[in-house]
Every structure is written in C-alpha cells, then in structure tokens.
Chain A
Amino acid sequence: MTENPIIEVEGLTKTFGSTEVLKGVSLALERSQVTCIIGPSGSGKSTLLRCLAFLETYDTGRVEIEGRLLGYVEKDGRRRPATSREISDVRRNVGFVFQHFNLWPHMTVMDNVAKPLWLASGFSRKEARERALAALEKVGLADKLEDYPAQLSGGQQQRVGIARTLAKGPHIILFDEPTSALDPEIVGEVLQVMRDLAEEGMTMAVVTHEMGFAAQVADRIAFIDEGVIAVQGAPRDVLLSKDNPRLVRFLKNFFDRNVFWEN
C-alpha cells in the first residue's frame, strides 16, 4: 500500500465572473480516510468538491488524482485543457454522489447501475448485471431492480445513486451534500450506507451539514470559509476549536438548533 494521497489539491483557485469562489485551497485526501468538508453556504465547499471531479473547471493550482493531473495536460511547462476523453481517463476511479441523485428516469434501477458498466467500464452485459446486483444488495435495494426512479422514495433514490457509483469500483467517492434533499426521517438510511462504506475502508470526501455524521465517522474535518480552508484537523480538534471566531459562530448555529431546552 502506498502512502500517497488519492487526491491532492494544491493552490486551487476558481472565479465565477468577478466572484472569487476558491482562493488557493490545498488539501490531501488520504487513502481509506473520510474527510468531511463543512462551512457556511456560499463558502465554496461544493465548488471545491466539483473541481475534484472536474465537473467544474479550475483556474490555477493543481488537482492530482493518484499522481495524474486532472483537467489539463502539461508539456514543457505549458498547460492545455485536456480533452473529454483524457479527463474521463484520469477520473476513472473517482465516484460522485449528487445532492439531487441525478438518476436517469427512463431507466430501471438495474439499468441505472448496470448500463454504464457495459457502456463505459468495459464489462460484459452479464458481468455488469452481476456487479450492479452486488452493489444494489449492499445498499439494500436488491428487491427494486425493475422499478423506475419515480417509484422510489428520496432515500432509496440516493442509495441507487450510491450503488451506481460503487459498482464501477472507485478508489474514492465524493459526496456532494448527499442528504440535503431528503426528508429528515430518511436521512438516516443514507448515512448508514455511508457509514458502512467508511468502515470497509472506502476513501471518501463528504460535503455535509450533518455534524453528527462528521463527528462520528470523519477522520478529518476541513472547515471552508470564504474560499480557503480556514481550519482542518481531527474532528474533535475542529469541532471543539475556539481559535477561529467564524468557525465558532458556524458551529454555535448547529448546537443551538439541536438543543431541546436551555440549561
């Protein structure tokens, strides 16, 4: 096992129009670790995650996936945009789970998971179905194979989304607020699947507002504020930190909301 991080980010910047969303982010996502990315809305945490999959281009800095530069090709010290094929190749082992699931509504659950495997990942149709079935069993949906997404609850749809990503055998999975679109009482079933993955040693980066999940499951927490990583470290160190007043205020919001009554 190598000690190199799966994704390494260095000096990442990103501007939308005249708004600088990321102002030099550096971050290493280590193998088998769960990194939770927290921060106020508009802080750039989703943009950062999307840059790690090149769903968003970045302006300067580097994103390296297992040692290979993502989104650009460098030659003689100069940089050119990578072709879509080159991008696909570099991020082949990166999985992505979306806030709004993004399942394909005209395909059954089975096809949502299996079809990309034989279309793009080089499996035969039979192998693809077997892999898809294994992934769907893992998220507890092996009895919904022939259902269409519209027939499922939000929590079930998100678990199909996780199965779809899982089936391609990624080395890392990026989660972009995976429970933010769900009703509170079904958030738990999705978090449980993510917990199971973490326990099996899957490398994960999770943008989330679920502080309980971050505290219990994360190996590291990064607090993003105004386009930079303001604080990062072990969950206990970050969540109990008193050094950064904006982090303190951000966390106080969460604690206050979850207190039942004043002592």
Chain B
Amino acid sequence: MNLDFSIFTDNWPDILGGLWLTLELWLGGSVLGMVLGLTIATVRQYAGGVVQRGIAAYVAAFRGTPFLIQLFLLYYGGPSFGLVLTPVQAGLVGMTVYSSAQFIEIFRAGFQSIPPGQIEAARMSGLGRMQILIHVQLPQMMIIILPSMVNLYVIMTKETALLSVIAIPDLTAVLNGIGSATYAYAETLFALAAFYWILLECVTAAGRWAERKVGRYLVR
C-alpha cells in the first residue's frame, strides 16, 4: 500500500474551510428545517381544508423528489423565477426546505400520538395553543419522535455531500479537488468517508444521550 498523507498537511487551510462549511450547512439547514417543520406541523393541526391541502402538496413535492434535483432547480432554475442565490445560500435553503418536509411528517406522527382528550382537558383548563404545544404536546411526543429525528439528522449529514454539485466548496468538493489535482484519490476519499462516519457516530451518541434525558419520567 502506498498512501501519501502529505496532501493533508499541505492543504489544511482549504480542508478546514470545507469542513467548517459542511458542518455549517448541515447543522444550519437541519435546525432551520426542524423549526420550519414544527411551525408548519403546528399550523396544520388547526388549519382548514385549503391550508391542509397546500401543506400536503408541499410535503409531497419535497419528499417525493430527489434532493439532487431540488438543488439543481433551486440554483440553476431559480433565476427563471427571479430567485438568484449564491451557491451557499441555495445550499442552505435547499437543506432547510428538504429537511422541513421530513420534519413535518415526524412532528405529525408525534402530535397524533397524544390522545385528543388530553388536549381537550388542556383547553378546558384555559391553556392557549402555544401553551398546549409547549407544556402538553412537545414533552410527551419528544420521547416518541427522538429516534426518527436523530435518524433524519444522520441522513442530512450525508446529503451535504451533494452540495458540491452546485459549486459549494464544502469538504467533498475540496477533497475531490485535491484528489484530482494530485491523483491521491484513495487518500482523499478515505478521509472523506472517515469524516462522515465520525460525524455520524457523534450525532448518534448525542441522540442516545438526549433519549435518556427525555425519557426520564417514563422510567418510573
């Protein structure tokens, strides 16, 4: 075996920049997607028919098409609709919208897991919708939806590898660039795979920790 690790020490500023961008877009897109998903799922509970159908169409569109095509449409097709974005902006919007559609479904399953009678009791106790969400629904559904949420965060780490196709200098793009410039394909691709694997292990560990914490009241 003949591996040359000097390409990492020679290019570390670029690699660090790519790494940072990947982490930023992953976490930024997923967290924004989660907030957007929770907002839409909450509105959906109280919405009338037209809004319901609109949300259903949104979910169907972004869950039913490949992320790659959504990215292309957003970045290359966007200008046709007057939407001109830099690659990084398009990446962030893409990650947010794509993950929000998945988060909507996760939160919907969570809402459905709470018996309606508990919501009625909260309404009769005078609680408003926001209070019901924070004090009755979220604390109980967390334990049920945490595994799927962690899973989605894991999936989103891997989706970031696609961002390089719209010229975002993320870790995948940087390492690929180095690989083709130096012919050190094996080293760069191994490094890339190792990075994603380590990130994924960290997310999973964080998820396990959160599950223990949230599930405390059920262990009695």
Chain A residues with CB under 8 Å of chain B are 53, 55, 84-85, 88, 91-92, 94-96, 98, 100, 102-106, 115-116, 119-121, 148, 150-151, 161, 164-165, 168
Contacts and interface: CB of A to CB of B under 8 A. Distances in A.
Contacts of B136: 104
Contacts of B125: 116, 120, 164, 168
A116 B127 contact: yes
Contacts of A53: 124
A84 B124 CA distance: 11
Contacts of A104: 118, 121-122, 136, 140
A88 B125 CA distance: 9
Interface of B: 115, 117-118, 120-129, 131, 135-136, 139-140, 217, 220
Please provide the 7 A-B residue pairs with the shortest distance between their CB atoms, ordered closest to farther.
Answer: A120-B126, A116-B125, A102-B121, A102-B117, A96-B124, A120-B127, A106-B139
Contacts of B121: 96, 98, 102-104, 161, 164
B171 to A, nearest CB: 40
Contacts of B131: 119-120
B126 A168 contact: yes
- Say whether chain B's binding surface is mostly helix, strand, loop, or mixed: helix
Among A96, A98, A106, A151, the most chain B Cβ lie within 10 Å of the Cβ of A106
Contacts, number: 64
Contact of A55 (B120, B129, B139): B120
Given A91-B124, A96-B121, A148-B220, 11 more contacts: A84-B123, A92-B126, A96-B120, A98-B121, A102-B121, A103-B118, A115-B135, A119-B127, A119-B135, A121-B126, A164-B121
Contacts of B122: 104, 116
Contacts of A96: 120-121, 124
Contacts of B117: 98, 100, 102
Nearest to B129: A84
A102 B128 contact: no
A68 to B, nearest CB: 16
Contacts of B115: 100, 102
A165 B120 CA distance: 13
Given A119-B135, A148-B217, A151-B220, A84 B128 contact: yes
Among B118, B121, B129, B139, the most chain A Cβ lie within 10 Å of the Cβ of B121
16 contacts: A55-B123, A84-B128, A85-B128, A92-B126, A96-B124, A103-B118, A103-B121, A104-B118, A104-B121, A105-B140, A106-B140, A116-B122, A116-B125, A120-B126, A120-B131, A164-B125
